[in-house]
A and B are shown apart, each in its own frame.
Chain A
């Protein structure tokens, strides 16, 4: 019962904040709303019993990525700057596109996803099992992907420094 109430409150916050994030004219407000959406998504993962995923979401997204965004905003905007809106034609076109997309995907979800098969299991994923899956080389184990991600991260660090450094 409590879980359902929490879910509906959170989903209300997510819907409101994600719409506000794409319509407000202040960049910093948009970033704050994005932060709220990311934290609510972390709470959804917690409701789904994915505790490790929640920790990753908070640490990487709400921590790292948001700090990058704040840096970017501070470096490229003066305080109190507001961006100008797009023309109403473009906004209308985008609105039509996204409402049509919601209608299409919502129709597909409504007519194809049945509620009968969906039962939420309430067991938590053990961290030990998660570790063996992440670090193994067998079937359903992800050591190769893990290493690829580490190389990608390294390349991104080097690339970001090379792109953003001051040239003499």
Chain B
């Protein structure tokens, strides 16, 4: 038993392990996005999904093509785009809260006109 554990740990971390972590992160985000009714909670779920996808880009780049860096640059730009998206989304959420006193998606069903 002890030898099996030592053998398992003395290998390098397999590609599948990193991909599985990204997979769980992504589908936890999917679950959150489908169940949450609060806008901020939905945004948190979206961030989880984005983060899982970003991790996959970097991992594929590192394991399969370590001489090139496209995956890493794609991750950097994806992080920047995610930051933009979050800023605008939170501005919209604060504006909705100010006008309707509520950020529950099922109760926001009135438009201005």
A72 to B46, CA, bound (A): 15
Q: Given A38-B51, A83-B37, A120-B12: A98 and B75 within 8 A (CB)?
A: no
Check B15 against A113 for contact (C-beta < 8 Å). Answer: yes
- Which secondary structure dominates chain A's binding surface? helix
- Nearest B residue to A61 via CB reads B79
Contact of B62 with A156 in the complex, beta carbons under 8 Å: no
Interface size class of B (residues with CB under 8 A): 35 or more
Complex contacts, B41 vs chain A, CB 8 Å: 22, 27, 30, 83
On whether the beta carbons of B38 and A83 are closer than 8 Å, the reply is yes
- Name A24's closest neighbour in chain B (CB-CB): B41
- Separation of A69 and B85 alpha carbons in the complex (Å): 12
Q: Which of B27, B45, B58 has the most A CB atoms < 10 Å from its CB?
A: B27
Flag if A93 contacts B34 (CB, 8 Å): yes
Instruction: A23 to B44: give the CA distance in the assembly, Å.
Output: 12
For the complex with contacts A113-B16, A156-B84, 19 further pairs of A-B residues with Cβ separation under 8 Å are A4-B10, A18-B24, A41-B51, A41-B55, A57-B79, A68-B86, A69-B90, A72-B43, A75-B97, A86-B35, A94-B30, A94-B31, A97-B34, A98-B27, A105-B23, A118-B14, A145-B73, A159-B88, A159-B91
